[in-house]
Amino acid sequence: MAKVSLKKKADVQPTTLNEVKSYARKIWLAGLGAYAKVGQEGSDYFQELIKAGQTVEKKGKEVVTEQLEAANTQIDSVKTDVVSLRGRVEVQFDKVEKAFDARVAGALNRIGIASKHDVETLSAKLDELTALLERVARKH
C-alpha cells in the first residue's frame, strides 16, 4: 500500500504543476496582450482625451468671458448710478449751505452785526465822501 500512495502523490504533483504553469502562462499572455492593446489604442485614447480637454477648456473660457462681461455691465450701471447720486447730493449740499448762510446772516443781523455786504457798501460810501472832502478841501 505504501507504493500506491506514492504513485498517487507523484501523479497528482505533475498535473497540478502543469496546471499552475499553464495558468501562469495565460496570465503572462494576458499581460502582453493588454500591453500591446494599450500600445495600439493608447495613442488614440490619449488624442481623444486631449480633444475632450480642449472642448472643456473652450467652454470654460466662454463661461468666464460671459461672466466677466456681465460683471462689467453691472459695474458700468453702478458707476452711472453713483454719478447721478453724486450730482443730487451736491445739489442738496448747496441748498443746505445756502440755507445755513441765510440763517446765520439773519441771526447776525438780528443782533446788530453788519453783514459783509453792508460793510462793503459803507466802505464804498466812505470812499466817495473822502474823495468829495478832498476836492472841497483843495478848492479852499
User: What is the tens place of the pLDDT at every residue in 5-60?
Assistant: 444 554 546 688 888 889 888 988 888 887 777 776 777 777 888 899 899 999 99
Task: Give the separation between CA 70 and CA 106, rounded to whole angstroms.
Answer: 54
Q: Residue 97, Cα to own-chain centre: how many angstroms?
A: 39
User: What is the tens place of the pLDDT at every residue in 80-100?
Assistant: 999 989 989 999 999 999 999
User: Would you list the domain boundaries of the chain?
Assistant: 2-139
Task: Give the separation between CA 107 and CA 124, rounded to whole angstroms.
Answer: 25
User: What is the tens place of the pLDDT at every residue in 112-136?
Assistant: 888 888 889 999 999 999 999 999 8
